[in-house]
Each structure stands twice: as structure tokens, then as C-alpha cells.
Amino acid sequence: MTDNNTTKNLTREQARRRLRELIQQIEFHNRQYYVLDDPQITDAEYDALFRELRDLETRFPDLKSPGSPTERVGAPPREDFAKVERTVGMLSLANAMNEGEILDFDRRIHELLGTDRPVQYMVEPKFDGLSIELTYENGNLVLASTRGNGWVGEDVTPNAMTIRNVPHRLSRIDGGPLPALIDVRGEVVMLKRDFIALNQARERTGEPLFANPRNAAAGSLRQLDPAVTARRPLTFYAYTIGRLEDVELESQQELLEFLRGLGFTVSTECRLVEGAGQVIDEYRRFLNLREDLPFEIDGMVVKVNSFALQRRLGFVARSPRWAVACKFPPEQKVTKVRDIIVGVGRTGVLTPVAVLEPVDVAGVVVKRATLHNMDELRRKDVRIGDQVVVQRAGDVIPEVVRVLTERRDGSEQVFNMPETCPVCGARVVRPEGEVAYRCTNVSCPAQLRETILHFASREAMDIEGLGPALVAQLVEKGLVKSPADLYFVKREDLAGLERMAEKSADNLVNALNASKKRPLNQVIVALGIPFVGTSTARTLANHYRSIDALSRATEEELQDLEDIGPKVAQAITTFFAQPENRVMLERLRAAGVNMSASESETGASAASPLAGKTVVFTGSLQRFTRKQAQDLAAAKGAKVTSSVSSRTDFVVAGENPGSKYDKARKLGVTILTEQEFQAMLEASD
């Protein structure tokens, strides 16, 4: 190894040779460490090589190669992420939630293949990270993109190039030729040890901590400034491909070895097994191994090993028939209920919440869990001081599963709903026939905060930058007493709030101005009328076409519309009858907020095959989210509803369509595939 003094005395030609040697050594040791899991030198020795390379490139910048390992420090920041469209989609997998469903998957494979012989499967860890695709042309990394919706992702190339074990240029261990084109797919994760170290460093500098490794990995890769990504310890695991040219592979096992041979990190936990029994054995192994793995997993992936059999099995909608994601049951932990408090929502509903002794559940420190309502609290008999089992519902929302009554010592306290609102002190009532307790004060600050957050949400006015902390300040300082007041807050008032610099204030004012042009259906959602969601709002906007016309509608008229029953109709008329709501609407109008539907919002063109048609969506779509598909249909003049009837013209069916699909078949309603729906959209252009 050359020390700094020797480096300073190198001639230009010697520096050129030494640079080449250093790059070869570093790439060799990267492969030994990440791919072969067989490091040949210590971290300190590796760091010394890296520093020497960086010093030489600083002294001889013209000799620095574009693919140098030091390039992993990040490119200049960008303003946004460009979109990347794929010709081969990154599809999702069907789920198996227990061993019985794993057996069902194996049974379906045998039925489809028409064989009784055991099938070979490749089982792999299901990484809990962020899926990306790396595109290489003639061995060079030219594009990196996130999964997105499977067909359209985001360009994160500069960020991905900062990940130490992502090859900038491929080379085969066996010396064979490189493919002219290959899309390598895998997961970006943050190893557990790296996550702990990162959070410890952030704690020392007073920065907020990441909740779990997955959030840390996803947030790090989706940075507009790649230099930030470069400072985060990310690791890429490869597990499949998209496009591939010039190479023929016969199995998933062969593919994984091929990827490893190209220099990619492939999990050493992948196993080739035969038959359902061995698959279940592996599932149990992964369950027991979960805590000891260096990375987070939330299940196991099972794939038919043979590519020939995969081709025979094919696909359904947005997932392959030949693979399944075996999900782990929700992780459960025992903790103590320190207290039970009450939260107040947008409509005044009081919700009991358990304050817990902090406990790590599936990588997230849980401090609170919802108790839903008093009936549920009483059913589970949750008391202050109880030892309880908690889990993250769907691995997302913390909830109390059960009480360990056998651990009670008599000191536990029964909780009763307060008679007055904990925020404003108003009387609390439980309307007849409802499970909910409600605050009777419509001006309650807690209700106002939630009302404004709903008004600003993406489905409603979509006001970027208006989050909970800022809304709380606006309410506490009396700057906003109704959603309409947002449009009359002055720039200097915003700039004087905590953490609101002048630029942030300008950005919020711009976002507020942009929100004034939202389509009528989003404005109706923003009003927060009980029981009126996005689908009902779209129905109301298409029929009445203005807030004025809607405000004059009677309950009888409203019930003539599809999907609107007595309860919804009464909620709408009650809303518009309240004086404070009429005042708010007039202030919104005075602020310049859109109050009517334009022709383009309902796609009035008679040329569109969707114009005037009633459309229902069911199942999981492949190329669109449900909202995107509904908005596109509405933009072409369709009336989008949530239930199937004899008046429905089309049902667009995705994966696992359910009861709406069955009802459409019984009624003889035309059922469209996603591809047919897309063709209708294109015919409307």
C-alpha cells in the first residue's frame, strides 16, 4: 500500500498506473465483501485504499475515470424525479398468509401443470425495503428507477450510483461476455447494524430519528440531493430481472448465480426445495431466523424454479401464477397501558387511545394504540395499568390485541369516557343508535384542526406544505377559524410562525393559490360533509355541476342519484342548511375557489366511448391506482360509482375482483379488462 508521502512523489504516468491498480483492488474487495461474503482485508485497510484513490484523483483530476468508486458521493441536487416507463412491468405478488395458503398455492400449481410430481421451488427472503430496477447497456449502468406503480417509476440514477455495492460497470467472474441489455431488479435496504449506527449519529446531532430500516432506506434513496443518499449506508440485494438480451437462462437458481457472477449481492438465504412440505419447512426456518438476519424481512417469496414451467403457468392480472409472497403473521409484543386518553376527530368523535410503555413492534417503537371506541374497549376490558399484547394491524396501525388478565394485581383502573370534551370543555353526548361519543361544540379547536387537515388533504384541496404542526399554530394563534380563512392569511403572518421562513411562507401561499383551481368534486370532498367521499363527490359534481345547485337539492332529489341513500342525503341537506357553513362557502367564493364544474372535468366530448356511461371499478389494477383510473374515466365523461346495478354500463375488473364482478355477470353488465379500459381511454384522445 502506498503512503501519502510516496503518492506525492508519483509522476503522471505512475499516478495513472496506480489509479488503475487502486480501482481494481477496490472493486475486487467490494466483490469479496458484498457478493462472496468473504472479505480479504479489514475495514481500516479498505478505507486507506479509498483515501489514497481520492487523494490521487484530487492531484490529477484529468485522470479520474467516470466509473471511479469515488463517484459514489452524489451528483448535484435535482428539482424533481423524472418518470421512467417500462415495457416489462415490475409486478406484485399474491399473498399467502399462513401454511394452509402455502399448501393451496402448491395445489393450484399442480392443477395448472396437470402433474402429481413434486415441483421445485426457489425460496427467498422477502426484503422489507424499496424495490428498484437497474438498467445496464453493454455492461454500463445507464438508469436506475423505483418500482412506482409497476409500469411507471421514478428516475433515481444519481442516487443509486452512490450505493457502494451497486456496480457502475458489470464484469463476469467467469470472464464470459456481458449481456447487451439487462434490467436487474432487487431491493434497497438498510442493514440493521447500519440503521442503529445512523440513528445514533442523528441523535448526537439532534436530528429526528428514523422509525425503522425500511423508512430510512426509502427516504434515503428518494432524496433530491444525491449527496444526502451518499451519506446513508444503503445496500442493494438483487433477486430477478426485467429485460435480458444475449443470454439464455433456464431457472431462478441459474439466474441468481448469474447475477452473483455479474457482481451483484444476492442473499445467501435463498434455497432450492422440492414440494410443499419443504416450502413450509423453509417458512418456519425464516420465522425462527427473522430476528438474526442482518436485514429486515416481512416474509418469504416462493417461485417455481423452472422458467419453462413459469411460462406455462403465466400471469393473472398484475401478478404471476408461479410465485407467492408468504407473509409473516403480525409481530406481537407485551407492554403496559400507562394511561388511556381521548382524541377528538374532525366530526367531534371522541376516540379512546392507550398510552403504552414504549415497545419495539416489527421495527417500529409503539407508544400508543387505538382502542377504537368504548364498546370495543369494554369488550376487551382494557384498563389503565394492564399488561396487554399489541401488534401493528397489517403491520401498520398499532392496536391492542388482548389483555393479560392473569397478570392483574388489583391496581388497574377502569376507564370511563369523560362527560366534557378534553380540548374545549363542551358537553360530550352519545347519540342514540351510535357507538361514538361526540363533542357538542362545533367550534372545538380539535375539530377545527382535523377539519382543516381534511380540507388540505390530497383527495380534497391538495394543499402541499399544510401539515399538522402548521395547522396547530394557525388555530392556536386565531389566524384560522374555518377552512376558508386559509385563503385570507397574510404572507407576513405565516413568516412569523415557528419554522416558517420567508421561502416556506411563499411556497404555502403559492400552494393555496394553486388549490383554488381544484375540480368541483375535490372541493365537495374538502367540505367534509359526513358520508361524502370521493366517489359520492364525483357523482354530485357530475349531476349538479355547481355548489349553488347542490346546496338547493332536496333529500328526495338526492336519493334519486345512484349510491345516495337517505342517510347521505340527510347529511348533505343538513350541511348546507347550517348558517356557519353558508358563511364559509361565501368566503371560499370570495377567495376565488372554484365552485363549478368545467366541461373538461366531466369529459363532455361525445366522441369518447366513456361519455355518459356509468362505470364501476373492482379488484387491483396493474397500470393505475384505483383513484387514477376513476379520475381518468371521469375526465372522459363517465359517471364513476361504487356499486353495480342494472344501470351500470361497464365494470372494469382487475385482480381478485370480488362480489362486484359476480353481480355484474348476473346482471349481464359488460365487464372490461384493464387493457380494454385503457383502449377506451386512448380512443377518447
Indicate which residues carry an active-site annotation: 126
Sequence-distant (≥ 6) Cβ neighbours of residue 590 within 8 angstroms = none
Query: Which residue type is seen at 213?
Result: P
Query: Which residue type is seen at 55?
Result: D
Q: How far apart are CA 93 and CA 325, in angstroms?
A: 6
What nine digits make up the cell of 513?
A: 393559490
How many CB atoms neighbour CB 87 within 10 A? 8
Q: How far apart are CA 532 and CA 534, in angstroms?
A: 7
Query: Which residue type is seen at 595?
Result: M
Confirm if 622 and 91 have CB atoms less than 8 A apart. yes
Q: How many residues does the chain have?
A: 685
Q: Which residue has the cell 446513508?
A: 232
Sequence-distant (≥ 6) Cβ neighbours of residue 279 within 8 angstroms = 102, 106, 121, 123, 273, 302
Sequence-distant (≥ 6) Cβ neighbours of residue 375 within 8 angstroms = 435
Sequence-distant (≥ 6) Cβ neighbours of residue 232 within 8 angstroms = 190, 198, 216, 217, 220
Instruction: Assign 344 to helix, strand or coil.
Output: strand
List the one residue out of 626, 681, 633 whose CA is nearest residue 658.
Answer: 626
CA dist 498 → 449, 482, 494, 506 (Å):
17, 21, 9, 15
- 354-392 burial code (b ≥16 CB/10 A, e <16): bebeebebbbbebebbbbbbbeebeebebbbebbbebbb
Confirm if 609 and 684 have CB atoms less than 8 A apart. yes
Would you give the end-to-end CA distance of the chain in angstroms? 65
Confirm if 634 and 614 have CB atoms less than 8 A apart. no
Sequence-distant (≥ 6) Cβ neighbours of residue 330 within 8 angstroms = 362, 391, 392, 393, 394, 395
* Complete DSSP assignment for 380-411: HT--BT-EEEEEEETTTEEEEEEE-GGG--S-
Confirm if 639 and 542 have CB atoms less than 8 A apart. yes
Confirm if 186 and 234 have CB atoms less than 8 A apart. no
What nine digits make up the cell of 121?
A: 421451488
Query: Which residue type is seen at 67?
Result: G
Taking each helix axis from N to C end, the angle separating 566-577 and 579-591, rounded to the nearest 10 degrees, works out to: 70
What nine digits make up the cell of 415?
A: 376507564
Instruction: Assign 622 to helix, strand or coil.
Output: coil
| Strands annotated E in 511-626 | 614-618
Strand pairing category for 95-96 and 323-327: parallel
Strand pairing category for 323-327 and 297-304: antiparallel
